[in-house]
Amino acid sequence: MLTSLPPSTRCYSALKKEPIDMNVATPAQNPLGIEPIPRLLWRFSLPAIVGMMVNALYNVVDRIYIGNAPNLGANGIAGITISFPIMIILLAMGVLYGIGGATLFSIRLGQGKEEEAAAVLQNAVILLIGTGIVIVILGMLFVGPLLRAFGASEQILPYAKSYLRIILMGSVFAITSMGMNHFIRADGSPKIAMLSMFLGAGTNIILDPIFIFGFGWGMEGAALATIISQFFSFIWVLSYFLGKRSRVRLRLKAIRPQWSVMKMIMSLGIPPFSMQLVSSLLNVILNKTLMAHGGDLGISAMGIVNSLQTLLLMPVIGINQGTQPLISFNFGAKKYDRVREASRLAIIFSTAVVLVGWIATRLWPQAMVGLFNREPALLELGTYALTTWFLLTPLIGFQIIAGSFFQAIGRSKTSLLLILSRQGLFLIPAILIFANAFGLQGILWAAPVSDGLSFLITSSFFIWGYKNLEKIAPKI
């Protein structure tokens, strides 16, 4: 059910609160299908950018506070860095059902199938909460062996275990809030989606210094602040779909598992999900290789670089999230010119944003690394790692938008290939090969090499797809 009124008589548009007569309304009357693309892209992307930047502060703030804590320092940063691949898996599950479900949700709304859109929402909730419960159980049983397998040394293991054990207890909150936030945006409420991220990250920023320094809880305090903030986000997103603000209402009594819907959600979510899994694998391989060639100091330096890369790319992720409902809705409505325009503008904006951040890493690399820790050895290695790893980062904005373009129109296999090209096809092999040949320097130079190669393959696919959209559009 979409509202308390009979679905045969009324529905809600994607952006307007006013009810529309179902006897005369069509997807073409939805603002997503008729308002100027630049205006829509601004309206949807700006809140997503702000929200993603704030959300990125979850791990970044933890690392800044822990790195500057007298009893934690570089070892604490290394502990979070070792835990990060497992945390990426949590993100991957939220992405699988969140982006996959929101894509199908938007397409169904574009096709005018509001009841089917509601079914997508209901089944996504089942998948998100169910998966979170499973991860809590498995994580509690195997947290120690997992960290050892992911490269934790005996010196770092206590720090990583203290942090991750508590993080995993909040898996249900993390996965569900993350996944459902994509639906809030697809429901036509990008500002509310932004506020949900503000709520979580803001709570985390406030609680971190209290728990870490005030109560002296160290790693456990940082993790506890994170899961409390995720709990508040969890309550927020559920209250949105259970309340009157949502256009497509979540009816708990109407929730029924539908395998066909779940299968479609997972199919559309596989590309971004796979990207997150490969990212987790990349971090494991990177940590192990760094341990062999740079020790705990190398892991700490790369942890800082990863944090700065997260901040640099979060605006692009926000633009991508804001673009997805525009592409998916207009694809469902067969307005292919609008799909092209949205994609083109998103690529321009993403490249410009990344370029600004990249210039900052060229001008003030030492100051950026120094935010996390100012130990001389870590500061020197971190600065070199930052400038080398980021050499061709301006190309990544295009790659993210171009890869997600195919996912948004339902061509999951093409999207999967492009999304995995940078980290899976090129970066992981480059790290292993270059590390054996050139040691720590080879590891760092693997990133710009993979960025250049993946840019070439992504460009060829995107240009072809962009020009032949009508011919390649699949039936969903």
Task: Print pLDDT tens along the chain (476 aa).
Answer: 333 333 333 333 333 333 333 333 344 456 777 788 988 888 888 877 876 777 666 667 777 888 787 778 778 888 888 888 888 888 889 989 998 999 899 888 878 888 888 899 999 999 999 999 999 998 888 888 888 888 778 888 888 898 999 999 999 999 999 899 989 988 888 888 888 888 888 898 899 889 988 888 888 998 999 899 999 999 999 999 988 888 888 887 778 889 999 999 998 888 778 878 888 888 889 888 988 888 888 888 888 898 888 888 888 988 988 898 888 888 878 888 898 999 999 999 999 999 999 999 999 999 999 988 788 898 999 999 999 999 999 999 999 899 888 878 877 788 888 878 888 889 999 999 999 999 999 999 999 999 999 999 999 999 988 888 777 755 55
pLDDT of amino acid 428: 93
Question: Which alpha helices (DSSP H) does 333-420 contain, by range?
Answer: 336-363, 365-370, 376-389, 396-408, 412-420
pLDDT of amino acid 29: 57
pLDDT of amino acid 364: 94
Total residues found in the chain within this entry = 476
Distances (CA, A) of 412 to 153, 267, 416, 461: 38, 7, 6, 13
**Domain ranges (residues) in the chain:** 37-472
How far, in Å, CA of 305 to CA of 426, rounded? 19
The pTM score is 0.68
How far, in Å, CA of 83 to CA of 226, rounded? 14
Q: Estimate to the nearest angstrom the gap between the alpha carbon of 396 and the chain centroid.
A: 15
pLDDT of amino acid 17: 38
Instruction: Name every residue whose Cβ is closer than 8 Å to that of residue 309 and which is 6 or more positions away in sequence.
Output: 389, 390, 393
Residue pair 80/158 in contact (Cβ under 8 Å)? The answer is: no
Q: Which of helix, strand or coil describes residue 195?
A: helix
pLDDT of amino acid 12: 34
How far, in Å, CA of 30 to CA of 102, rounded? 17
